[in-house]
């Protein structure tokens, strides 16, 4: 429910980069001619997050799946480019707490499975995403059996992104476009610094949840409600270097 009166959420959303995120199309099937184009195709992420082996534009889903073992860091595949995920220790703690609350809900409502940030989804050609948290319902699984593919070919019902300082507006906008183009039904974008959230049911359809509001599961997780205060009170402050 987009509105001009929506309170501020993530600082990343205030960035002027939002206006130019269209320069990163949903899917690109060619090697970028230069590093500038690779940077745009990768979502304008900091250059240190872009891997050059394999060369940008030539990486595969297998490279993304095996990135943690090869490089020691989980990578997504963005238009054939390996891009390191931007989630740190603090954001991982928030993800773990949110996963805990989700599984409390699933104990009474066994409708699917929650995955962490190492679960890859092949959403579009040459694009593998690893949401910080994802939920996949049994209803989407053939015969209700857990997927066995290295990169899941079934889009999750819910994808959650915990914003880190290294995320860019263009990167998040591109993720939203790819998520909904692939069939994701609900996306939570959580801003730890401001203790707020945006819940998306479409690329341009969202509700801003203030710090005193509740995170809800909508049609994806019926009757799931979590006060943001309850989530963030357990995280403590971010400890800066």
Instruction: Give the pLDDT mean for 189-200.
Output: 95
Instruction: Give the pLDDT mean for 143-157.
Output: 92
- Percentage of the chain beyond pLDDT 70 is 86
State the pLDDT at residue 24: 60
Please check whether residue 27 is in contact with residue 125, taking contact to mean a CB–CB distance below 8 angstroms: yes
State the pLDDT at residue 104: 97
Comparing 51 with 236, the larger pLDDT belongs to 51
pLDDT tens digits along 125-145: 999 999 999 999 999 999 888
Confidence of residue 25 (pLDDT cuts 50, 70, 90): low
- Please give the backbone phi and psi of residue 33, each rounded to the nearest 5 degrees, phi first: -70, -20
| Of 183, 177, 197, 113, the residue nearest 153 (C-alpha) | 183
Least confident segment among 26-35, 49-58, 183-192, 201-210: 26-35
Domain map of the chain by residue range?
11-232
State the pLDDT at residue 3: 36
For 180-192, b where at least 16 C-beta lie within 10 A, e where not — what string?
bebebbbbbbbbb
| pLDDT at residue 22 greater than cutoff 80 | no
State the pLDDT at residue 234: 73
Least confident segment among 1-5, 44-48, 51-55: 1-5
pLDDT tens digits along 57-108: 999 999 999 999 999 999 999 999 999 998 788 899 999 999 999 999 999 9
* The CATH number of domain 11-232 is 3.90.1570.10: yes
| pLDDT at residue 12 greater than cutoff 90 | no
Instruction: Give the pLDDT mean for 113-123.
Output: 96
Confidence of residue 13 (pLDDT cuts 50, 70, 90): very low
State the pLDDT at residue 144: 83
| pLDDT at residue 116 greater than cutoff 90 | yes
Chain mean pLDDT for the chain: 88
Confidence of residue 23 (pLDDT cuts 50, 70, 90): low
| pLDDT at residue 121 greater than cutoff 90 | yes
Query: How far, rounded to the nearest angstrom, does the alpha carbon of residue 103 sit from its chain's CA centroid?
Result: 19
């Amino acid at each position: 429910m987009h509105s001009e009166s929506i309170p501020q959420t993530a600082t990343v959303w205030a960035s002027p980069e939002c206006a130019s995120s269209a320069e990163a199309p949903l899917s690109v099937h060619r090697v970028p001619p230069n590093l500038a184009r690779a940077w745009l195709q990768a979502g304008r992420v900091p250059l240190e997050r872009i891997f050059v082996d394999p060369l940008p534009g030539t990486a595969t889903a297998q490279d993304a799946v095996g990135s943690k073992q090869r490089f020691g860091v989980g990578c997504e595949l963005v238009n054939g480019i390996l891009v390191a995920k931007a989630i740190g220790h603090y954001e991982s703690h928030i993800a773990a707490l949110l996963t805990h609350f989700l599984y409390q809900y699933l104990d009474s409502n066994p409708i699917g499975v929650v995955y962490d940030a190492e679960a890859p989804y092949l959403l579009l050609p040459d694009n593998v995403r690893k949401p910080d948290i994802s939920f996949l319902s049994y209803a989407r699984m053939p015969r209700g059996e857990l997927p066995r593919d290295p990169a899941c070919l079934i889009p999750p019902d819910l994808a959650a992104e915990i914003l880190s300082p290294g995320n860019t507006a263009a990167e998040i906008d591109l993720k939203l476009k790819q998520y909904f183009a692939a069939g994701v039904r609900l996306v939570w974008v959580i801003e730890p610094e401001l203790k707020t959230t945006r819940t998306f049911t479409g690329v341009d359809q969202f509700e801003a949840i203030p710090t005193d509001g509740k995170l809800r599961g909508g049609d994806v997780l019926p009757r799931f409600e979590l006060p943001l205060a309850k989530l963030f009170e357990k995280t403590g402050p971010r400890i800066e270097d």
